[in-house]
Chains A and B, each alone.
Chain A
Amino acid sequence: MKRTIATIAGMVLLGSAAALAGVSLVKGQAAPAAVREIQMDTGLGPLPAAGGAGYSSLTGVQPGGPWPALPRRLKGPVQPIFYRHDIHAGQYRIPCLYCHNNAANSWTANIPSLSTCMGCHLITSAPDSAGNPNPEITKLRDSYTKGESVQWARVYKIPEYAHFPHMRHVAAGLACQTCHGNIQQMPRVFAAVNVNSMGWCTSCHMQRGVTRDCTRCHF
C-alpha cells in the first residue's frame, strides 16, 4: 500500500512539474508550448532519422496535443498491451527512471509494476472524443483489477554468462538511449542495438577509457 501511495504522490509531483513547465497532463488544457524536436543526449552523436521504420516523429508533437503519428511499419515483438514509449517518454517526457526505477539501484532494470502504471491511469484514460477510455488502458486496468500481471514480450536479453550492472551505467550519467536506442520515438519497442555483440560493449568502454577486464561482466 505504501508503494501505491508513493506512486500516486509521484504522479502528483510529476503533474505539478509538468504544470510548472507550462504543460498539462490533461488533454485540452494545454497552453501552447514551443514546438521543437525532443532530443536527448545519447553521447553517440545524432539520433537515427526520425520517422524511419519503427520510429515515430516527434516533430510538432506537444504534451496534451495529438499523439505522434505511427510510422508505416512497427518493429519489435507484439506486446499484450500496445504501450507507446513515444507518447510516454517522447511526448510527455516522463523520465525513464520514473518507471524503470531499479535501473538506478540494481543490476537489473525493472519492468514497472502495474501499480506504477495505475499511478497515472487511475485518473487518466486517454478517452476518445466520445469519452470511451482507450482500449489499451482498459486492458491495463482490467489486469490490475484482477490482480494479474501482463506478460510482456522480452526485447533485450543478454546471456546468462554476462552480468550487466545497470546502476553503474546510470550512475555514470549514461543516457538509457545509448544502449536502448531512441526509445522515446518508438511506439513499440525493438532492439535498436545488438547489445549481445560484445564489440558493442567494448567499443564504448574503450572510447571512454573504462575497464575492459573480462571478469567485470563474465563470472
Chain B
Amino acid sequence: MKRRRFLQVAGAAGAGLAAGCSSGSTDRLLPYVTPPEDIVPGIPTFYASTCRECPAGCGIHVKTREARAIKVEGNPAHPVSRGRLCARGQASLQGLYDPDRIRGPFRHTARGLEPVTWDAAIAQLAEALGAAAASGPDRVALVTGADSGALDGFYDEWLRAFRSTRRLRYETFAYEPLREASRLAFGVASVPEFDFASARYLLSFGADFLETWISPVQYTREFAEAHGFRDGGMARFVAVEPRRGLTAFNADEWIAPRPGTEGLLALALAASVVRQGRAHLVGAEADRVRGFLGRFGTQSVAEATGVDEAVVDRLAREFTAAQPSLAVGGGVAHQHRAATQTAVAVHLLNYVAGNVGRTVRFQTGRALDKLSRYSDATALVTAMAGGKVDVALVHDANPAFTLPRAAGFADAFRKVGLKVAFASHFDETAALCDLILPDHTPLEQWGALETVAGTRSFVQPAMTPVFDTRQTADVLAAVAQKAGKRVAAGAASARDLVAKGLAPAALEQTLQHGGQFGPAQQRSVYLVSDFARMAYQPPAFDGDAAGPVLVVYPSASLFDGRGANKGWLQELPDVATKIAWQSWIEVHPDTARALGLGTGDVVTVTSPHGSVEAPVHVYPGVRRDVVAMPIGQGHREYGRTAKGRGVNPLDLLGADATDASGALAFCSTHVKIQKTGRSVQLASTEGSARQLGRGVARAVSLAAARQGEVEEGPEATITDAERTAIAAAAASQRQRAYIGEYAKPQPKWEMTVDLSRCTGCSACMTACYAENNIPVVGEEQTVRHRGMAWIRLERYFEGDTSGTDWQVRQIPMLCQQCENAPCEPVCPVYASYHTPDGLNGQVYNRCVGTRYCANNCPYKVRYFNWWDYGTVGDPYFAFSEPLNWQLNPDVTVRTKGVMEKCTFCIQRIRFAQNDAKVRGRELVDGEITPACVQTCPADAFVFGDAHDPDSRVSRSKADARGYNVFDMLNARPGITYLERVIRGEGA
C-alpha cells in the first residue's frame, strides 16, 4: 500500500455514491486527473494503523472508500487487538468527522476568537518560546497524553531545546498505585502484563478490565478464552468491588466489601492461603511473609470488610486449588487513599499463590510506566500558579476537565503568559488558551507507538486531513526551526520521525502490517525483603460518615469524557445501567426507599468540596452505603453534543485526596443526598430488568452443563398435544406457502451467540451504527424509545437482588432472521419478505410504513424512521457535514416513514458473493462477517451458512446449550443462543 497522494480532485464515477442528490439539477461526475494507484471506485482500500482512543494501543484497519475513511476494524495481525475493537475504537471515526472540530488555527484576543494563519501562529509561538527559554530554565511546559515511541522522544528533545523538562504525560487513569506497588513489592515500577487467558481462577479487586482498565479489548478476548465454556471446563471469576459494573456482571460470584477495604481482604486471603499451607513460598521468604500476614486475622478483617470469614477461607482455597490463578486490582479498589496498599496486597496474594511469573509477568518498556502521576499534574498547577511557567502547551489532554475542579487548574493556567492548545475541539482547556493550533485526529496522523513491550505499532493517515489542521509534531518542528533550534537531527515532520531508521521498502511493509510485533522481553522478579513498609489501614474518607461513600467510575463509552462529543457513544446505553445521554447517580433500592427516592428523582449530591445535581437510578449493584456516578458528562465546553450535558462528579472531589503513589483518590468522600423535588425521565433503553419467566437469556451451572443439561425455557411447559398442534399448523403453513425449490442450492445464513463468552461490552452496537448508517436520534427520542440501534444488549437481573447473591444475564438482541417470520405475512406491500438465502429481507423502497411488522415482531427488533434523519433540514438530521462523509456507500440511508432492522450486513454478504463469482471461486466459511461479529472482542458470535454441515455455525448450533428465544412461537429463528454457564462455588 502506498501513501495516499494528495488528490486534486476526489470525485469518482459510479452509481450510489453521490448521496443526497436525487433528481432535478444535473449531477456532475468528476474523474480523477491521474488515478491514485490504491483507489478503485467502489472497492474499499484498507490502511493499517493504531487506535488512539485510550492508551491500550489496539491495532486497527481503517476501511476507506474513494479516499474517505468509512469504518474501523481491528487488525488481525496486531498482538493487542487481534482483529477486534471496542465501541470507543469504532467511534474514532466520529472524532475524525466531528462537525465541531476546530477547522483551522485560531488566536484568542481581547476581541474574542480570531482566525490566524499557520505561519503567524508559528512565528508567535517561536518568539514566545525563545523569550521563555532566554529568561530561565523550565519556563516552558508541555502536556501530552500517553505518548510513546518516536514522537514521545521528540517531544522531550524539543522541550530540552527550550531549556525545559516540564513534561507531563497526562492520563486521567495512569495506574500510579499499581506501578508504585510493583516497585514496593518487586522493585520494578511497572504495570505488569496479566495473562487472563491461561488463568483458571480469576479474582478481581475492582478492576474493570472488560470496560476501561489498561487494555479492555485484549482482556475481553483473553477473559472469554478463559471463562467461556469449552469442552466441559471454564475458569471461575469472582469480582470483589462495592459497585457491580459490567465486569462484575460477568462474575460467577460478586463480593461487595466496604469501599477501601479491598486491600485488607486481599491480605486476609493471602494469610488464609499461608495458613492452609497452600502458599508457594520457601525459606526465609516464607517466614517473612508468614510473619507479615499473621497480622491479618480473618476475624478482624471480616469485621473491617464486611466479608464473612468462611468466604475468605473458601476463596483462598479455591484460588490456590486452580492453577494458575490470577488476582487483579484496579478501578475503585485502586482509587482511594489506601490504593497503593491494596495494589501491594494483590501483588502479594498473587505471589503467595505462585502466579507471579506465570499469569502476572513483568516486561521492560511499557508506555504506561512512563505516565505522569496525578501529583505531577498538581505540581505543574502549583508552578503555573506561582508564575514559573511562561509558555504552556497542551496536546491530546484536557486537564481543565479531567482534574478535579478543586485542583485549581483553570486559575493557575490563566497565569501562564502564552497558552497553546493542540486540540481538536474547543474543550475546557482549549477555551482557556491564547493560541489554538488544531491537531490532526489519529486517523490523519503519523506515529510509531511502543505501548506494549516488544511491539512498535504504527499510526498512519488513512486519508487527507478533513480540515486545515496540522499534526502537533509537525508544528513543533516548524516552531523549533523558526526559533533557530535544531531538534531530532532536523526532522521536519512526524512522518520523518516515524520513518527514521527504516528503508522505504521496510517502511512500506511495516505500515502494511501495522507495525513490528516482536516478543516481549520478560523480567523475572522476586519479592523484595522490605515489602511490608506501609501501614495497612482502611483509608480515610472526607465528609460526614453518615452519608454514603461516593464511587466515581470511568464511563465504558465516554471514558474520561473524551468521547462525550461523539453521538455514537452518547447514544450507546451505559453497559450497566442502560442509560444513554445523561448523568445519573446509582443508589441502592433500600437506601433510595429510606430517602424516599425513586428512579428519575433529581437529587443534590453534596461533598465537602462541591455539589452537583443528578437524577437517581435505583440500582441493586451498589452497596447500601455506596452511591456511584460515572465520569464523562458535565462538559462546560467541547462540542454541541457534549456541552452542557449532565454533570461532572469530579467536582465533588478534593484536590489533595491522594494515596501513597500520588494518584488521585476518586473514591475519597462521603456525600449527602438531598431530594430537590424535581424529577426527569431517564433516557434508558431498559425495558424490564427482569425476564419474567420469558427465558430470553438463559444460564446453566457448570455442573449441569457438564452433564449436558440446560435451563429450560417457557417452551418446556407446552403440552404434547399443543406441540403436535403447532407442528401440524407449521406443516400446513409450509405446504400452502410452498412454491417449489430454487434451481440451485442456496445458502442459509445463520448465527450463533455464545452467552458464556459475551460480556455485554456493546462494541457490536457501535460497529453496527458505523456499518449500517444508523442515525443518532438524540436524548429526547431515546427517552421516547425511538432509538434505532439494530442490535442491543439486553440485561436482566436474576435472583434476589437485596443481597449480593444474584446473577446478571446479558444477551445481544438483533433481528432473528426467522424462517417462519411473523413480520413477513403482515406486510401489505411485500417490503418484508423471505429471501432465498434465509434472511428476512427488508426492501426500503417498497415499505410504506404501516409498522405492522414491528407490531408483530416478538423480538422487538424492527425500528421505524419517525424522522428524516438523513435529510438536511430535518429537525433530527443526524449527519451534519462532514459526519455524512462517514456514511457507508454500500448501505441505503433510510428515509422517513420506512421500517428498518438488522440485515446480517447483507452488503457484506453480497460483496463477498460477487467477488467470489467474478473470480470464479467458492465462498469460504468465515469469509463473511457482519460488523458485530467482526468487532466482538469476546468472539461470542459465529456466522455462516447453516446449509453447510461443516461450517462453524452448523457445528456451533449443534451445541447442547443452544436454544432459540421464544421457541414456543414457532418462528424458527436463524439465531441460536448458547446458554451462559455459571461456575458456582467449589465447582
A residues bordering B, Cβ < 8 Å?
A: 2-4, 77, 102, 105-116, 143-144, 147-154, 156-168, 171, 209, 211, 213-216, 218-219
Point out the residues of chain B lying under 8 angstroms from A163, CB to CB: 15-16, 890, 907, 910
List 16 interface pairs A-B (beta carbons < 8 Å), by A numbering.
A107-B914, A108-B16, A113-B31, A113-B32, A115-B35, A149-B30, A158-B15, A160-B16, A163-B907, A163-B910, A165-B910, A167-B914, A168-B914, A214-B846, A215-B903, A219-B910
Residues of A within 8 A of B743 (CB): 209
Partner of B27, one of A106, A109, A157, A160: A157
Q: What CA separation (Å) do A154 and B21 show in the bound complex?
A: 12
Would you give the shortest CB distance from B331 to chain A, in whole angstroms? 42
Q: Are A219 and B891 in contact (CB under 8 A)?
A: yes
Residues of A within 8 A of B917 (CB): 168, 171
Say yes or no: is B741 at the interface (Cβ < 8 Å to chain A).
no
Query: Chain A residues near B15 (CB, 8 Å)?
Result: 108, 156-158, 162-164
Complex CA–CA separation, A148 to B32 (angstroms): 9
Q: Is the CB of A113 within 8 A of B34?
A: yes
Asked if residues A152 and B43 are in contact (CB atoms below 8 Å), the reply is: no
> B968 interface residue, CB < 8 Å from A?
no
Q: Is B843's CB within 8 Å of the partner chain A?
A: yes
A153-B32 in contact (CB<8A): no
Nearest Cβ distance between residue B480 and chain A, in whole angstroms? 33
Q: Are the CB atoms of A114 and B34 closer together than 8 Å? A: yes
Q: Is B26 within 8 A of A215, CB to CB?
A: no
Contact between B910 and A149, CB atoms less than 8 A apart: no
**What's the Cα separation between A100 and B348 when bound, in Å?**
69
Judging by beta carbons under 8 Å apart, are A108 and B17 in contact? yes
Taking A108-B17, A152-B29, A218-B845 as contacts, is the C-beta distance between A2 and B37 under 8 angstroms? Answer: yes
Q: Are A115 and B845 in contact (CB under 8 A)?
A: no
Kindly identify, within residues 18 to 40 of chain B, every residue whose CB is under 8 Å from any CB belonging to chain A.
18-19, 22, 26-35, 37, 40
Determine how close the nearest CB of chain A comes to the CB of B858; give it in whole angstroms.
22
Question: Nearest chain B CB to A114's CB is how many angstroms away?
Answer: 5
Given known A105-B40, A106-B43, contact A115–B16 (CB-CB < 8 A): no
A149: chain B residues within 8 A (beta carbon): 8-9, 11, 30-33
Fill in one digit per residue for B862-901: 1 if any A CB lies within 8 Å of its CB, else 0. 0000000000000000000000000000111100000000
Contact B903 A219 (CB under 8 A): yes
Contact, CB under 8 Å: A167 / B918:
yes
Residues of A within 8 Å of B845, CB to CB, are 159, 161-162, 218
Q: When the two chains form their complex, are residues B844 and A106 in contact, meaning their CB atoms are under 8 A apart?
A: no
Interface status of B136 (Cβ within 8 A of chain A): no
Q: Is B34's CB under 8 angstroms from A160's CB? A: no
Question: A23 to chain B: closest CB distance in Å?
Answer: 28
In the complex where A3-B34, A115-B35 touch, is A215 in contact with B16 (Cβ < 8 A)?
no
User: Is A160 a contact of B835 with CB atoms below 8 Å?
Assistant: no
Nearest first, the 10 closest Cβ-Cβ pairs linking A and B are A108-B14, A106-B42, A108-B42, A154-B27, A149-B9, A111-B13, A111-B31, A107-B42, A113-B32, A149-B30
Q: A151 — nearest CB in chain B belongs to which residue?
A: B28
Give the docked Cα–Cα distance between A159 and B846 (Å).
Answer: 13
Q: Residues of B with Cβ closer than 8 Å to A?
A: 8-9, 11-19, 22, 26-35, 37, 40-43, 743, 833, 835-837, 839, 841, 843-846, 890-893, 903, 906-907, 910, 914, 917-918
| Contact present for A3 and B11 (CB under 8 Å) | no
> Contacts A105-B40, A164-B15, A165-B914 given: A151-B841 contact, CB under 8 Å?
no
Q: How far is the CB of A74 from chain B (nearest CB, A)?
A: 16
Looking at the assembled complex, report how far the CB atom of B211 sits from the nearest CB atom of chain A, in whole angstroms: 34
For A102, the chain B residues whose CB sits under 8 A away are 13-14, 40-42
Residue of B nearest to A198 (CB): B845
Give the CA-CA distance A169 to B30 in the complex, in Å: 24
Q: Are A148 and B839 in contact (CB under 8 A)?
A: no
Check B836 against A213 for contact (C-beta < 8 Å). Answer: yes
Whether A108 contacts B918 by the Cβ 8 Å rule is: no
Q: Complex Cα distance A3/B473, Å? A: 33
Q: Which residues of B contact A209 (CB under 8 A)?
A: 743
Quote the shortest CB–CB distance from A163 to chain B (angstroms).
6
Contact of B31 among A77, A114, A147 (CB under 8 A): A114
Inside 8 A of A4's CB, which chain B residues have their CB?
A: 34
- What residues of chain B lie closer than 8 Å to A213, measured between beta carbons? 835-837, 841
Report the separation of the CA atoms of residues A219 and B907 in the bound assembly, to the nearest whole angstrom: 7
Closest B residue to A217 by CB, please name it.
B910
In the complex the two chains form, is A214's CB within 8 Å of B843's CB? yes
* Contacting residues, chain B, for A110 (C-beta < 8 A): 12-14, 31, 41
Please measure, in the bound complex, the distance between the C-alpha atom of A131 and the C-alpha atom of B19, giving whole angstroms: 45
Contact B841 A109 (CB under 8 A): no
Chain A residues whose C-beta falls within 8 Å of the C-beta of B37 in the assembled complex:
2-3
A77 contact set on B, CB distance < 8 A: 26
**Contact partners of A152 in chain B: CB under 8 A:** 28-31
Kindly provide the distance from the CB of B282 to the nearest chain A CB, expressed in whole angstroms.
65
Known A152-B30, A160-B19; judge A214-B835 contact (CB<8 A): yes
Whether A161 touches B31, Cβ cut-off 8 Å, given contacts A106-B40, A211-B836, A219-B903, is no
- Chain B residues, CB < 8 A from A161: 844-845, 892
What are the residues of chain B within 8 A of A115 when measuring CB–CB? 32-35
- Do A215 and B835 touch (CB < 8 A)? yes
- Complex formed: what's the CA distance from A143 to B30 in Å? 12
Chain A residue at minimal CB-CB distance from B34? A115
A215 CB contact (under 8 Å) in B19, B35, B841: B841
A147 contacts B835, C-beta separation under 8 Å: no
4 other A-B residue contacts (CB within 8 Å) besides A164-B15, A214-B843, A218-B892: A102-B13, A160-B19, A162-B845, A219-B890
Q: Known: A157-B15, A168-B918. Is A148-B907 also a contact (CB below 8 A)?
A: no
Question: Quick one: closest B residue to A115, CB to CB?
Answer: B34
Contact B914–A154 (Cβ < 8 Å): no
Closest B residue to A117 using CB positions: B31
Say which residue of B33, B892, B906, B918 sits within 8 Å of A147 (CB atoms).
Answer: B33
Given contacts A77-B26, A167-B914, A168-B918, contact A218 B843 (CB under 8 A): yes
- In the complex, chain B residues whose CB is within 8 Å of the CB of A3: 34-35, 37
Q: Are A160 and B35 in contact (CB under 8 A)?
A: no
How close is B375's CB to chain A, nearest CB, in angstroms? 55
Q: Are A154 and B843 in contact (CB under 8 A)?
A: no
- Do the beta carbons of B33 and A215 come within 8 Å of each other? no
Residue in A112, A159, A219 whose Cβ sees the most chain B Cβ within 10 Å: A219
**How far apart are B900's CB and chain A's nearest CB, in angstroms?**
11
Contacting residues, chain B, for A218 (C-beta < 8 A) = 841, 843-846, 892
Once the chains are docked, how many angstroms separate the CA of A114 from the CA of B22?
27
Report the bound CA distance from A166 to B16 in whole Å. 12
Q: Which residues of A contact B12 (CB under 8 A)?
A: 108, 110-111
Counting chain A CB atoms within 10 Å of each CB, which of B11, B15, B833, B892 scores highest?
A: B15
CB distance from A135 to the nearest CB of B (A): 20
Tell me if B835 and A153 are in contact (CB < 8 A).
Answer: no
Residues on A with C-beta less than 8 A from B836 are 211, 213
Closest to B9 in A: A149
Residues on A with C-beta less than 8 A from B34 are: 3-4, 113-115
Chain B residues near A215: list those with CB within 8 A: 835, 839, 841, 843, 903, 906, 910
> Which residues of the other chain, A, contact B26 by a CB distance below 8 angstroms?
77, 153-154
A160 and B893 within 8 A (CB):
yes
Q: Which residue from chain B places its CB closest to the CB of A165 in the assembled complex?
A: B914
**Whose C-beta in chain A lies nearest to the C-beta of B870?**
A160
**In whole angstroms, how far apart are the Cα atoms of A42 and B313 in the complex?**
83
Query: Assuming the A-B contacts A77-B26, A156-B15, are A214 and B841 also in contact, with contact meaning beta carbons closer than 8 angstroms in the complex?
Result: yes
Task: Give B616 Cβ to nearest chain A Cβ, in Å.
Answer: 43
Kindly state the separation between the CA atoms of A151 and B42 in the bound complex, as whole angstroms.
20
Interchain CA distance A151-B31 in the complex, whole Å = 8
Min CB distance, B868 to chain A, in Å?
A: 14
